[in-house]
Amino acid sequence: MYGLPKIHKENIPMRPILSMLGSAQHELDKWLADILKLVLEIYTGFCIPDSFLFAEFIRDVNGSSNTGYLCCYDISSLFTNVPLGETIGICADSLYCGSLTKPSFPEHIFLELMGLATKSVEFSFDGNMYRQVDGVTMESPLGPTLANIFVGFQEKLLFGRFPKSVCYFRYVDDIFVMCFSFTEAER
């Protein structure tokens, strides 16, 4: 484990990085991340892949007649705050109870493998051994996948209740929201 300074933040906090490369879980993580690609597709409807697409969208909005309010959010420490039990449950439900093609092994095996890949991660820091019991590691192939699935699941719940006058984009943990003002005739 090592840390990278967040130089853009006050008091320059450290971003904890747990390198999974060469670990016992790394190959398992890659294999599980591949299985979870279909689940990831369900929960990334609000994600944008890069800043170029975002710039294109902003250009189009700037030229429209709609007026709106802009705001940006940053999910604080997303990776280390992903609740593993809940996220693994979301993945299992999506794979085994939804319309996706089920893996060739039973759900209890999937749950056990996910537990091994995420809740059994051991690492050393400052001469001490630790076990990560919650949150995901940034350098694990499963890290971004599970973080996106968790946040995407929450977005699906949230936007089932929102009016269509809200525009929302997310890139990993950075969120852009625009609430449009419509005249009564446009509604």
Which range (120-129, 133-142, 175-184) has the least confidence? 175-184
Q: Give 54's contacts (C-beta < 8 A, 6+ positions apart).
A: 48, 169, 171, 176
Residue pLDDT, tens place only, 52-91: 888 887 777 655 556 677 888 888 888 888 999 999 999 9
Q: Model pTM?
A: 0.81
Q: Give 135's contacts (C-beta < 8 A, 6+ positions apart).
A: 79, 80, 81, 82, 84
Q: pLDDT band for position 185 (50/70/90)? A: very low
Q: pLDDT band for position 92 (50/70/90)? A: very high
pLDDT of 183 > 60? The answer is no
Q: How far apart are CA 34 and CA 38, in angstroms?
A: 8
Closest CA relative to residue 92, chosen from 67, 70, 109, 78: 109
Pairing of strands 67-74, 121-125: unpaired
Long-range (24+ apart) CB contacts under 8 A made by 27-32 are: 28/113, 28/116, 28/117, 29/117, 29/140, 29/141, 29/142, 30/141, 32/113, 32/114, 32/117, 32/141, 32/142
Residue 69 is inside which H or E element, if any? strand 67-74
Q: How far apart are CA 112 and CA 115, in angstroms?
A: 5
Q: How far apart are CA 77 and CA 67, in angstroms?
A: 32
Q: What is the average pLDDT score of the chain? A: 83
Percent of the chain having pLDDT more than 70?
88
pLDDT of 94 > 50? The answer is yes
Domain extents for the chain? 22-181
